[in-house]
Structure 1
Amino acid sequence: MHHLRFLKYFDEVARSGSIRQAAERLHVAASAVNRRIQDLEDELGLPLFERLPRGMRLTAAGELFVQYVRGRESALEQVRSEIEELQGLRRGSVRLVASQALAPQVMPRAVATFRAGHPLVEFQVRIGDHVQALHALRSFETDLALVFNLAPEPDIEVVAQFEQRLVATMHRSHPLAQRSGGVRLRECAEHPLVLPNREAGGRQLLERYLVRSSLKLRPAVESNSFEFLRGCLYHGGAVSFQIAIGAVSDGGEIVAREILDRGFPVGHLVLARLRGRQLPVITHAFTEHLEQALAVTAP
């Protein structure tokens, strides 16, 4: 399968935009990578890259060819997985992009419980938003996406979705944490607000409601890091917002309160894949495992 290695050379140059960087990642000589790129171009009769002073950029023909290469790599992984299943092995690799809200507890628990029965399976888990998830699915960089409020797309197949509500989060010493019921946004606005940036699905859900409301929320802090926002809750009496499944307690230090405002929208945690793509057998098995876990975990 030497020709597959040469296709890998091409794909790595396309990803890095540099023959030198691709050679370093592949642990081969740059001259060998360059020679194989030239061989491919000679065989196809068209340049696949523009040679620029600062690197390599795909031509229109190269854009088409890279989709072929990545689709072929995906198909090969599927065949390898099926062969391993026939041999009675439980090997394979699962690639997933997941929302930040799932990083502290949900995904680690799902991976650990699956690997308890499949100890030879490897996982590549990236944390990202719905935009990054779509890009990763379409570029064959991931097999599955589990993100909040993924918009419908014709080339994306929704495997499952789970209703998720936004909740207010705060330190247990916060005045709003002392009540057993929920809170209203107007009450939250009386305290310093630390909010995810506008690309985050939870923030977009919040903004959707505020468009129809006279209430204005002015954040003291905005960030793309949920870990940073959670840290802010330990200081200055701050309030933040998170989807319920991600509002972990940090040993009871951070608490969540339901938002009581009438008509506040509900979102969905969406498990998705690229439509029509053949996934490895082990990925199908993990998909089923994840669906079952979320059916129990998701409020």
Structure 2
Amino acid sequence: MDDKLDTRRVRYFMQVLESGSVRGAADVLDMDPSAVSRAIGILETECGLPLLERHGRGVVPTDAGQLLAGYVRRQQGQRQHLLAQMDSIRKIESGHIDIVAGEGYVDWLMRRSLRIFMASHPKITVNLDVASTDEIVRRVIEERAHIGMLFQPPKDERLTSHQSHAQPIQAMVLGSHPLAQLDRPLKLADLLPYPGATLHRNFGVRQHIEAAEISEGVRLPALLTTTSFSALGHFVSAGLGYTLGTRISLTPNADHPALVELPMKNPLLSQGRSHIVSRHGRLLPPAAAALLRQVVADMKGYADSVAGAGPGKPRTTARGRGAAG
């Protein structure tokens, strides 16, 4: 049907219906009535049916004319709805965002950027998935996620890093643990006598720890190996041993007032960085772009506050006692 309908002639037809006569439509359209009449005649030929019939001094639609008018009104309604939706997206009132992040970033997101953004944009839906470093990179590159947050992604020209900051790997223990009594940065060898918990090897944090182990000629045994940062925190809180991780990932687990974070001596454990990434060259939808700006600004503020706190000393991690939560 769309192939047979000339948009201009359909507009004349609808104006005739609205005006109730050809002459009335011609006045509104600022046209000669005969030109309007000829256009309607051509439209009727295209449709193969009469669309108007005389009624007194005016015209009314035939059955075919009513069908055409209903079709045009539905099309106009759909067009207006589409434009309203697009306008809503432009104003960041609606949309959908896919985020994939290491588990260590989830608590931070929900306490800060994501909580603030979703409160301000209640009609925007968000999908937040937790994944390993390798999976985060894969999803962002394959454009299955708009935004990725991860520790030390591999160098890949298909990724754009919008913000990064140093995330030293530290040890977390109970304040009563013997390691907490050492008034100095720890060597990996200091951890050997004690049970520990660690992440699986597809996590960037674990890969950094393994590089440090090689440099020191040490192999740390693991009592617990997991994909869960939360499990690491519970392991330490239960007094089962130590764990190694970044401040942003360990702090959310630190509800126990006796937990402390201890600096490590090995420089390899200080070289890792947190990154906020997207697919290089990808034009993000307005909603995702707005959230990305929010996350970048908030993470920069967090990184600046952590840097200002100063490095090198044991740090309690409970809420209200220097926690970065």
TM exceeds 0.5? Answer: yes
Q: CA deviation at 1:265?
A: 4.2
Instruction: Work out whether 1:160 is the aligned partner of 2:157.
Output: no
Answering whether residue 220 of structure 2 is matched by residue 191 of structure 1, we say no
Question: Quick one: which of 250, 255, 260 aligns to 1:250?
Answer: 255
- Residue 171 of structure 1, CA deviation: 2.3
- TM-score by length of structure 2 reads 0.62
* Aligned residue type for 1:130: T
| Amino acid in structure 2 at the alignment position of 1:296 | G
Cα gap change, 1:258 to 1:246, in 2 (>3 Å): same
In the alignment, does 2:81 pair up with 1:83?
no
Deviation at 1:115, TM superposition (A): 2.3
Matched, 1:171 2:174: yes
The 1-side partners of 2:85 and 2:232 are apart by: 40
Name the counterpart of 2:244: 241
Cα distance change, pair 89–271 in 1 and its aligned pair in 2 (3 A):
closer
- Distance in 2 (alpha carbons) for counterparts of 1:81 and 1:107: 27
Higher-RCO chain (CA-CA 8 Å, sequence separation at least 6): 1
Pick closer, same or farther for the CA change 1:119–1:292 going to 2, 3 Å. Answer: same
- Distance (whole Å) between structure 1 residues aligned to residue 274 and residue 84 of structure 2: 31
Residue matched to 2:204: 201
Q: Corresponding residue for 2:280?
A: 275
State the distance in 2 between where 1:83 and 1:199 align.
42
Q: CA distance change for structure 1 residues 152 and 257 in 2, over 3 Å: closer, same or farther?
A: same
Q: Aligned to 1:233, what secondary structure does the other structure show?
A: helix
The separation in 1 between residues aligned to 2:164 and 2:201, in whole angstroms, is 22
Q: Tell me if 1:105 matches 2:108.
A: yes
**Letter paired with 1:273:** S
Please, which of 135, 138, 149 is the counterpart of residue 135 of structure 1? 138
- 1:37-81, CA deviations, whole angstroms, 9 ceiling, x for partnerless residues? xxxxxxxxxxxxxxxxxxxxxxxxxxxxxxxxxxxxxxxxxx998
Counterpart of 1:294, as a letter, is M
> Is 2:231 aligned against 1:228?
yes
Question: Is the 2:236–2:243 Cα contact (8 Å) retained in structure 1?
Answer: yes
Q: How does 1:35-114 map to 2 (within 5 A)?
A: 83-86=87-90, 88=91, 90-114=93-117
Q: 2:292 corresponds to which residue?
A: 287
Q: Secondary structure at the match of 1:183?
A: coil
Q: Secondary structure at the match of 2:115?
A: helix
- How much is the aligned-residue C-alpha RMSD, in angstroms? 2.4
Provide the aligned length of Structure 1 versus Structure 2: 220
Q: Deviations over 1:106-132 (max 9, x none)?
A: 444221122233233221110111211
1:89/1:96 Cα in 2 relative to 1: closer, same or farther (>3 Å)?
closer
Whole-Å separation in 2 of the counterparts to 1:242 and 1:285: 30
Q: Is the 8 A contact 1:174 1:237 kept in 2?
A: no
Indicate the larger mover: 176-185 or 117-126. 176-185
Q: Report the Cα distance in structure 2 between the residues aligned to 1:115 and 1:218, rounded to whole angstroms.
A: 42
Tell me: CA distance 1:81–1:164, structure 2 relative to 1, closer, same or farther (3 Å): farther
Cα deviation for residue 294 of structure 1 reads 0.7
Deviates more, 1:279-288 or 1:104-113: 104-113
% identical equivalent positions:
18
Unaligned runs of 5+ in 2: 1-82, 307-325
How far did residue 192 of structure 1 move?
A: 0.5
2:247 corresponds to which letter in structure 1? A
**Structure 1: gaps (5+ residues):** 1-78
8 Å CA contact retained: 2:165, 2:273: yes
User: 1:160 Cα deviation (Å)?
Assistant: 1.9
> Who is 2:34 aligned against?
none
TM-score by length of 1: 0.67
Deviations, residues 11-50 of structure 1 (Å, cap 9, x unaligned): xxxxxxxxxxxxxxxxxxxxxxxxxxxxxxxxxxxxxxxx
Residue of structure 2 equivalent to 1:213: 216
